Copies of this chain bind each other. A is one copy, B any other.
Amino acid sequence: MSNAIAEPSLKARTVLIAARDVFLLHGFSAATTDMIQRAAGVSKSTVYAHYPTKEALFAAVIEGELAAFTDSMRRTEVGPGNLRKALTVLARAYLDVVLSPRGLALFRVVVGEAPRFPDLARRFYLAGPQVVANMVADCLGEAVASGEADLSEVGRDAAARLFINMVRGEPQLQCLTHPDAAPSAVQIDQWTREAVTTFMRAYAREIGKTNGESSRPHRAERI
């Protein structure tokens, strides 16, 4: 069936998917077009029919991963709840993507090849950390408006960046430097809790200090 009139975009996608696996596993330089060709089950010239060079194929792969990353984060619904709850949801969503094999491999490759592909590195920052920071900043804006948080000392955007870096820092670094040891769900929960707790201690205003899931929704949320 597919032999008669091969749809061009189909083979192109096959090549792209194979290239993604190979590039994310080996990095740009160590990956070879032979590996990609073999993984895709096509011939060498089919690869070059759709992508003029190895660099172009690499760029297409990274762009696709960035889009997937952004989409994944954008699908996160914070939902109703207090600030602690909202930050916890965002932190978990961020860590889920960052600590996934795909997320770790993307970081490795983009950062490792940044001197050779500076534009891709910049786009990584915009599609990843920047997007998440904006989501957190929105959340913090509402919290400030409702009196849940006081960010007058550092500002909303700086606070958002501090938070996501606190969330990402240790888990990502440990995963990057211990490639064979994936952290447990319990460990990830603890990291999340520590970061959220620290941020809340620094910037949350004491409303109902007795704490413990005060079911009072400070922010009347849209649903």
Question: Is A122 positioned at the interface, with any CB of B under 8 Å from its CB?
Answer: yes
Q: A169-B165, A194-B162 are in contact. Are A112 and B113 (CB under 8 A)?
A: yes
Q: A6-14, A86-94, A196-204: which one contacts chain B?
A: A196-204
Contact A165 B162 (CB under 8 A): no
A130 to chain B, nearest CB (A): 10
Q: A36-44, A46-54, A172-180, A215-223: which one contacts chain B?
A: A172-180
Q: Which residues of B contact A201 (CB under 8 A)?
A: 153, 201-203
A interface residue count range (under 10 / 10 to 19 / 20 to 34 / 35 or more): 35 or more
Interface residues of A in 3-24 (CB under 8 A from B): none
* A197 CA to B115 CA, complexed, in Å: 33
Kindly report which residue of chain B lies nearest to residue A109, judged by CB atoms: B112
| Copies of this chain per assembly | 2
Contact A121 B177 (CB under 8 A): yes
Interface residues of A in 77-131 (CB under 8 A from B): 107-116, 118, 121-122, 124-125, 129
Point out the residue from B30, B114, B118 that lies within 8 Å of A29, measured CB to CB.
B30
Question: Is A195 positioned at the interface, with any CB of B under 8 Å from its CB?
Answer: yes
Q: A153-B201, A162-B194 are in contact. Are A118 and B170 (CB under 8 A)?
A: no
13 pairs, A vs B, C-beta closer than 8 Å: A27-B112, A27-B113, A112-B113, A114-B177, A114-B179, A121-B176, A125-B174, A125-B178, A153-B201, A162-B166, A165-B170, A198-B199, A199-B202
